[in-house]
Structure 1
């Protein structure tokens, strides 16, 4: 039985582990965090991810954990609605919006009986030869595996060790995102509330009983940026919004200052010439991230399934190539669309913001709200 080490116990990693276990592999998942993370903004499961989730027998569990959001409200500085944007999917397509942490937890529970899960550890070195990969861990004993897959996100350890420094593959797209739980339900459980000023967005998402605040804004890369430095993250957010007195922004900034659970990172694009080297491959955001703007969770699920099926049918070299050829056709359009999508979400100028809001009003008038998918 071939052994596979998967770095990253999130959406891509656990989906890959589930399918590998059912295709005759012995997967091990190593995760840097000490346990399943509790934070994370809602994400969509749509398109090519839906049949994968259905085949895993998990779609009803996702629906049970879904949010009740039916649309978004654009708000002015006083909090008055400018336009309502309904959630409208393609005809006949099933979509589920679910808190990211709940999706990850459901996937982790699905693999718990078939996969070795190692929390609170990480890979520190990889040494590949013709027969396998020797792996050194920060905490555990060294071990040898037939294959290693990095499913460890934008700041992938496997990518850094096997493919080179992060700076060679990750490009800051000129935008930042921050998010934090508000510790209670939203006043409006059916709408995401969005307030823009030029170059900035503040929002509240009702999630599933514990509302989430988010800040998305344009800004250059920060010298010495450390994606694990909470104090630095708070300072960047507060400085970006400190002159915005509209809507709930001052209150939400106070929440940022007091937070001990703040997600913050660059909105970035990951591009590599190849997603594999020998017996080492990449999946999910570690291979092709367009954070925030690229339907990352759905693509992570679809890509993990494609990789597992390829590995089950071919030797590893051919399997990695086949997986990449198939999955790049899904990810490339998202990467090309990234900056355009960012400009629609957060217009940079007053003129751009006025044009976006006018278009939203027209959209609302000519397209009636579609019924919410069955949950």
Structure 2
């Protein structure tokens, strides 16, 4: 009997986790990733609540604990660098914090022998013709799949192809910003420093000899800056931080020299349904709660585990499985999205956007 085959777009966290569970449920799994190789960047990610149970199911919880950053608290300072208050580690971290590069490397190793990975490629067209989905790729020949799952982030290519333009699905939370690393000139040792406000600075390091991770955020009316060039994004940051003291001038200089600079706006994804026909979405692609929620990685893992479990329980009948997956997961997602909106408002000094049902 031929195994049902599934294509997953995205090889970060949700994609490989889902690939692992589906392979063990009897699926033939392919993962396509537009990056040329496994990504080796990203902040430390934290896990809370049910995500720890998923890590146990994956069999990697003990190994990940060996990579725990064991971050301490964060000192809040004013624009002159004067200490305002000390926050405990729990304010920004979860029950377990690990560098994202370690998580993605472990997930890839866990699945590499059983799952086909297509790096340096992306989906260009999806045709759901009832019995299956015809998938066209940028580089590989077109192929047929029984199911297609988008695990490709907040600006999901699969979502755009299957659901159409984002429209109101992508909700801006009033913040944009950049992240990069630089020399740890402050000697931070498993601690953070934060200057909140309309333009905010968050700095942390996992050790005195480790790089300083920098996040510069500022209030914006839309995510339009995401589409600009790096030069234009850097100028927007200089404009936002003009006149600020403390570490701002030094960090703006370091920003231009960083080779791991990235820019993103804080957004949420809201959809009435996370599936259409044989195509479904997991993680940020379907229900991003925004980085301010602190739940992105946990939500990705729980979403992958829930979808795989429902597909297995439904005997591969995707319509039943997709519906059950949404019903089971949506309360958890709504709670995380509410937290993301509230945190975005507290960082920027504004009011939280209204709740969305």
- The verdict on a shared fold, with TM-score over 0.5 as the criterion, is yes
Q: Which residue of 2 aligns with 1:36?
A: 38
Q: Which residue of 2 aligns with 1:27?
A: 29
CA RMSD, 1 decimal: 1.9
Q: Which residue of 2 aligns with 1:310?
A: 310
Q: Which residue of 1 aligns with 2:215?
A: 214
Q: What SS does the aligned partner of 1:62 have?
A: helix
User: Residues of 2 paired with 1:269 and 1:156: CA distance?
Assistant: 12
Q: Assess if the C-alpha contact under 8 Å between 1:201 and 1:346 holds in 2.
A: yes
Q: Assess if the C-alpha contact under 8 Å between 1:186 and 1:210 holds in 2.
A: no
Q: Which residue of 2 aligns with 1:328?
A: 330
Q: What SS does the aligned partner of 2:240 have?
A: helix
Higher relative contact order, structure no. (Cα contacts within 8 Å, ≥ 6 residues apart): 1
Pairwise mapping of residues 159-198 of structure 1 onto structure 2 (< 5 A)?
Answer: 159-183=159-183, 187-196=187-196, 198=197
User: Residues of 2 paired with 1:80 and 1:214: CA distance?
Assistant: 19
Q: Assess if the C-alpha contact under 8 Å between 2:176 and 2:223 holds in 1.
A: no
User: Residues of 2 paired with 1:72 and 1:337: CA distance?
Assistant: 19
Give the stretch that moved more between structures: 107-116 or 233-242.
Answer: 233-242
Q: What SS does the aligned partner of 1:88 have?
A: helix
Structure 1 position 264 matched with structure 2 position 267: no
Q: What SS does the aligned partner of 1:117 have?
A: strand
Q: Assess if the C-alpha contact under 8 Å between 1:200 and 1:348 holds in 2.
A: no
Q: Give the Å deviation of 1:244.
A: 0.9
Q: Give the Å deviation of 1:318.
A: 0.4
Q: Which residue of 1 aligns with 2:148?
A: 148
Q: Give the Å deviation of 1:183.
A: 4.8
Q: Which residue of 2 aligns with 1:88?
A: 90
Q: Assess if the C-alpha contact under 8 Å between 1:179 and 1:263 holds in 2.
A: yes
Q: Which residue of 2 aligns with 1:338?
A: 340
1:48-70: CA deviation from partner (whole Å, max 9, x where unpaired): 11011012111122112221312
| Distance of aligned partners of 1:330 and 1:29 in 2 relative to their CA distance in 1, 3 Å threshold | same
Q: What SS does the aligned partner of 2:291 have?
A: coil
User: Residues of 2 paired with 1:82 and 1:100: CA distance?
Assistant: 30
User: Residues of 1 paired with 2:283 and 2:310: CA distance?
Assistant: 15
Number of matched pairs: 342
Q: Which residue of 1 aligns with 2:281?
A: 282
Q: What SS does the aligned partner of 2:45 have?
A: strand
User: Residues of 2 paired with 1:218 and 1:143: CA distance?
Assistant: 44
User: Residues of 2 paired with 1:300 and 1:177: CA distance?
Assistant: 22
User: Residues of 2 paired with 1:278 and 1:264: CA distance?
Assistant: 33
Moved over 6 A (4+): none
Give the stretch that moved more between structures: 333-342 or 264-273.
Answer: 333-342
Q: What SS does the aligned partner of 1:153 have?
A: coil
Q: What SS does the aligned partner of 1:135 have?
A: strand
Q: Assess if the C-alpha contact under 8 Å between 1:42 and 1:207 holds in 2.
A: no
User: Residues of 2 paired with 1:139 and 1:241: CA distance?
Assistant: 42
